[in-house]
Structure 1
Amino acid sequence: MKLLLGIGSAALMTLASASVSFAQETIRDLRSTNTLTLSGEVMRIMGDDFVLDDGTGQILVDAESYAIRQAGLSLGDTVTVTGTYDDHDFEAISITPDGGEIIYIFDD
């Protein structure tokens, strides 16, 4: 019985440590990093870029105009963006409109 409990406990600990979670970032707390994810409201669209507001701040997202059109983004939409941040510049890798499909961005 003790052996079964020991094996069960070990299996449970292995499963618990195998789950991976990614913390979502806020604009206010951004630092230069590898890849991260932001979610917020589209405040303005300007060609290849749009302004994202997550309630802690705003940031200009470089997303390519074709991806913005494909995602069907409009002012006030909620969107999740994955990309890289460096020196106040957020370069999008993908855009996911609320309830929509992931749109991958291939920078020219």
Structure 2
Amino acid sequence: MKFNPMPSIVLTALVALLIPLEVGAQKASTQINNSPNARVTSISGQVTKLLDDKFILNDGKGQIIVEAEPSLGQPINLSVGEKVTVVGNYDDNEFNALSITRANGETIQILDD
């Protein structure tokens, strides 16, 4: 019986080609996931000012403008001084809300445009 080294050479070559592709795909995915604009997170704090479809939220460390246009174009109906938790993501210098939860547990769904 003769040993044919060709299949193992072909297999080694294929593995050598596939490893860099897999590593490259992982790097691209990591970069996207680490982008602050892509990450959904939550912030909690007190409403300090109301502006049309935006409001300013103070989380005790600073303030941020929260963009929040409710579903069906209804007003946000928040009050200055109200404590809320906002789920959304950062976009430049604003926080785009996906939902707002009041202290009493009521959740306001936000239009995702």
TM-score range, shorter chain: 0.5 to 0.7
Structure 2: runs of 5 or more not aligned: 1-34
What number of residue pairs does the alignment pair up?
75
Residues in 1 aligned to 2:103 and 2:59: alpha-carbon distance in whole angstroms: 14
Asked whether the 8 Å contact 1:67–1:95 carries over to 2, the reply is no
Structure 1 segments (4+ residues) deviating >3 Å: none
Equivalent position SS for 1:64 = coil
Find 1:68's aligned residue among 73, 76, 89: 76
Larger Rg: 2
Q: Say if 1:49 and 1:104 are closer, same or farther in 2 by CA, change over 3 A.
A: same
Alignment of 1:1-108 (within 5 A): 32=36, 33-64=38-69, 66=74, 68-69=76-77, 73-108=78-113
Normalising by structure 1, report the TM-score: 0.63
Residue of structure 2 equivalent to 1:12? none
TM-align CA RMSD = 1.7
Q: Percent identity between the aligned chains?
A: 48
Shift in Å, 1:67: 5.3
Gap regions ≥5 residues in structure 1? 1-30
What TM-score comes out, normalization by structure 2 length? 0.60
Shift of 1:56: 0.3
Is the 1:67–1:104 Cα contact (8 Å) retained in structure 2?
no
Change beyond 3 A, Cα 1:67–1:82: farther
Equivalent pair of 1:62/1:91 in contact (CA under 8 Å): yes
